[in-house]
Amino acid sequence: MSELRDFKCPNCSGALEFDTKSQKLKCPYCDGTFDPEVFNEGTDFTVNNEEWNDDNIIVYSCRSCGGAIMADRDTAATSCPYCGNPVVMTSNVSGVFKPKKIIPFKLDKKQAKERYKKHLLNKYLLPDAFTSEAAIDEIKGVYVPYWLFDGRANARMWFDATRVRFYTEGDYDCTETSYYKLFRAGSVRFLDVPVDASSKIPDELTQSVEPYDNAESKDFNTSYLAGYVADKYDVDVAESRDIANSRISNSTSALFSSTTMGYDSVIPTSSSIAITEGNQEYVMYPMWLLNVDYNGKKYTFAMNGQTGKFVGDLPSDNGKLIKAMALVFFGITILGSLIQFILTRL
Amino acid sequence: MKKVLMILLISLMMLLSTNTLSAAGEHVVIKTEPEVISYEQLNELENDLIHIDQDYGISIYVIFDQSIDDLVAYADDFSARYFDNTNNVGLFINSQYYYVLAEGSASDVIEENIDNLWNDFLYYAQAASSPEDGYLFKAIQTFYQSCVRLINGEVYQSNVPGVVVATPYVNDFADLLSDSEELELNKKLLAYKNRYGLDAVIVTTNSTNGMYISDYTDDFYDYNGYGNDGIILVLDMGERDWWFSTKGKGITYFTDYGIDTIIDDMLDDLKSGRYYSAFNTFANDVEYFTQKGIEGSVIDYTPSKATFGIDNVVISAAIGLIGALITMGILKGQMRSVSRQYMAHNYVVNNSFMLTGASDLFVNRHVTRSRRPEPTRSSGGGGGYSGGSSTHTSSSGSSHGGHGGHF
């Protein structure tokens, strides 16, 4: 049994979608707009158990066009592949799966495509064919589930440091090395350290589009999901907490190390960083995912749906690379030889 | 080479009437009437000229004889018999003409200044009426002093009958050389002076009278009437020290490196007591160095010049390879934008960073000393020369180059 919800326009029964410009639900047919924070006109309906198949795939008929919609059991929001009618699996965003906050999309699909084109500019090694042949295979707005962790790190760190001074004494060159033992203790607080709670999207990708500004987050309402894809979390809190603590610990260590200025060498000898764990929160952050096919290979790009930060590794043209390296190598070799030749002739 | 000059004698005719032998010597023969020069004066002139002959290698003859008919034939015959020195100058006068015959390397300067020489001679000779007034004596003395100065490379100074200080170029106070060796060296250095205008002086002494050898050397040169350009070598046999000092053009021609080269050439002879040979080397080297200096290629230390070879290409290629790898790093880096994040700096709460404890404890101090490599100056070796000459100022206030050492 599965609880679903779709969003019909109260005026014309058209399928409502979240509009990034107005930050409201908008009817594409009658242009009616509705505040997602208070929109309760969605229609809840139930899909029968029998429709679950063995592979944890739920199949149901679109209430708008009758087409078969297939969804993963973790799916929290999707759209009908035939008519685009958005649907939210309410059972995946309620109870323990209900996010506390959500940052609504601020940038739409069109802007994501523009950022993608910009991303390809000034990349010398990009194969010429990539721009013309590579087609955007799929572009989707995804609400990525995140765990946010607060924490206070208490650090006690010890360092061995040296200061070196050179001077002359009569006919002697002297090197004076002074050795110090440094101690630093203190604390620093971290707020809303995000950890990607979905195993479906690579952590590298979600971490690369960071940071999100959690101050702009809204209380969760299923209406925000209308028109986007969302998954519920499938990585538990404990596992995510370790990732957050590791990042907190690394940052704390770096912050305290940076207070040891004025030495010629500083080597940490021992440290103890204790993290007092604070609140944790389940949230959804917006991200545009682009899949591009080129030469039979899939390239994934991601854009922060809030800030527009665009990331994605690009293929390199080895011919271009060799050409550039050869140019530099021979250029320097010939120029360097010429300069040395002239210098020896002076 | 002979230079013949003949000019009609005018005013001296008045003075001379009959031929009376007044006095006769090897260099000066005066037969005049009335007698205008005394026997004593004649002797003094004779002695002077003998010294000039020996010290400078210049033989000067003054023949004043009214009885000579064919002055030119007489002069030719005379020169064939007596002109056997490096430089020879003869002044022949009869009742009508005077005739100057110069031979040797300095004959050019005599020819150039013949009018000056004669005018000065005439200036005094015209006034002569008796031995007591000493005017003929003065005339002859002025003539040969001027000749010596000219041959020594000085500009002719009319009517300045200064005393020519005998400045021998070999001052062998320590008596390391025989008289004939001294004479030979002196001749050589005089020829050098005549040719290049620089004084090259050799001094040997058993003591520098308590002075630093450097000061002794500078002062010896400065206070003994040598010219503005020159080089002096002092050997202090007491301390077995040598010292070179240079002045004027000498500073330019004899660099620190050049001086070491000269002393290097001499050192074996000096150590084994072959002083004449050593000084001969000195004279030869000095002339050679001067010649080189005048040609514009002063002998100086030249750092071995770097040559272009395969090494330079290899170095360039190595830098090129590094450049190519850096290029690869930059270009490849442009293509990557996805990476795992290990820090959480973005999520630090503002002003939450608190340093509750900090101590910088000094533990100990360690000092390592290493002796600085001394700049080396080894005689004959390559290192230590910065090129050119280092100079200092002597007690007379003039600038000198040069340095010294031990042998």
Q: Which residue among B88, B116, B151 closes a domain?
A: B151
Search chain A and give the residue with CA nearest B374. Answer: A171
Tell me whether residues B312 and A337 touch, CB distance under 8 A: yes
The parent domain of residue B119 ranges over 2-151
In this structure, what are the phi and psi dihedrals at residue B261, rounded to the nearest 5 degrees? Answer: -65, -45
Mutate to test the interface with B, among A130, A190, A346 (most CBs of B within 10 A): A190
Rounded to a whole number, what is the distance in Å from the CA of B323 to chain A's nearest CA? 6
What element of type H or E holds B279? helix B275-294
Model pLDDT, residue B223? 81
Tell me whether residues A176 and B366 touch, CB distance under 8 A: yes
Same domain as B110, residue B215: no
Rounded to a whole number, what is the distance in Å from the CA of B303 to chain A's nearest CA? 12
Rounded to a whole number, what is the distance in Å from the CA of A47 to chain B's nearest CA? 39
CATH of the domain at B137: 3.10.310.50
Q: What is the rounded CA–CA span in Å between residue B234 and residue B246?
A: 12
What element of type H or E holds B244? strand B241-247
pLDDT tens digits, residue range B349-368?
999 999 999 999 999 999 99
Same domain as B178, residue B137: no
CB B195 within 8 A of CB B152: no
Same domain as B255, residue B402: yes
Q: Could you tell me if residue B102 is inside a domain? A: yes
How many CB pairs below 8 A link A and B?
A: 210
pLDDT tens digits, residue range A189-207?
999 999 999 988 899 999 9
Q: Which residue among B100, B124, B151 closes a domain?
A: B151
Model pLDDT, residue A179? 95
Residue B347: its chain A contacts at CB < 8 A?
A: 190-194, 211
Option in A316, A331, A344 nearest B306 (CB): A344
| Res A293 pLDDT > 70 | yes
The arithmetic mean of pLDDT across residues A43-57, rounded, is 60
The arithmetic mean of pLDDT across residues A300-318, rounded, is 94
Question: What is the ipTM score, two decimals?
Answer: 0.83
Q: Which long-range contacts (CB under 8 A, 24 or more apart) does A324-328 make?
A: A324/A124, A324/A125, A324/B327, A324/B328, A324/B331, A325/B324, A325/B325, A325/B327, A325/B328, A326/B324, A328/B320, A328/B323, A328/B324, A328/B327
Residue A331: its chain B contacts at CB < 8 A?
A: 320, 323
pLDDT tens digits, residue range B76-118?
888 888 887 778 888 888 777 778 888 877 677 787 777 778 7
Q: Could you tell me if residue B314 is inside a domain? A: no
Residue A193: its chain B contacts at CB < 8 A?
A: 344, 347
Q: Which long-range contacts (CB under 8 A, 24 or more apart) does B279-284 make?
A: B279/B170, B279/B177, B279/B185, B279/B202, B280/B185, B280/B188, B282/B200, B282/B202, B282/B233, B283/B185, B283/B188, B283/B189, B283/B192, B283/B200
Model pLDDT, residue A327? 95
Tell me whether residues A183 and B359 touch, CB distance under 8 A: yes
Mutate to test the interface with B, among A245, A250, A333, A338 (most CBs of B within 10 A): A333
Q: Could you tell me if residue B177 is inside a domain? A: yes
Model pLDDT, residue B157? 54
Same domain as B213, residue B124: no
Q: What is the rounded CA–CA span in Å between residue B20 and residue B66?
A: 9
Rounded to a whole number, what is the distance in Å from the CA of B357 to chain A's nearest CA? 5
Tell me whether residues A175 and B368 touch, CB distance under 8 A: yes
Tell me whether residues A186 and B354 touch, CB distance under 8 A: yes
From B204-218, B305-319, B339-353, B362-376, the region with the lowest mean pLDDT: B362-376
pLDDT band at A44 (very low <50, low <70, confident <90, very high): low
Q: Could you tell me if residue B94 is inside a domain? A: yes
| Res A141 pLDDT > 60 | yes
Q: Could you tell me if residue B190 is inside a domain? A: yes
Same domain as B401, residue B258: yes
Option in A175, A328, A334 nearest B327 (CB): A328
Q: Could you tell me if residue B79 is inside a domain? A: yes
Option in A183, A204, A333 nearest B340 (CB): A204
Rounded to a whole number, what is the distance in Å from the CA of A69 to chain B's nearest CA? 33
Same domain as B251, residue B397: yes
Q: Could you tell me if residue B99 is inside a domain? A: yes
The arithmetic mean of pLDDT across residues B205-233, rounded, is 86
On average, the pLDDT of chain A sits at 87
| Res B304 pLDDT > 70 | no
> Which residues 363-382 in chain B show a CB within 8 A of chain A?
363-372, 374
Model pLDDT, residue A54? 58
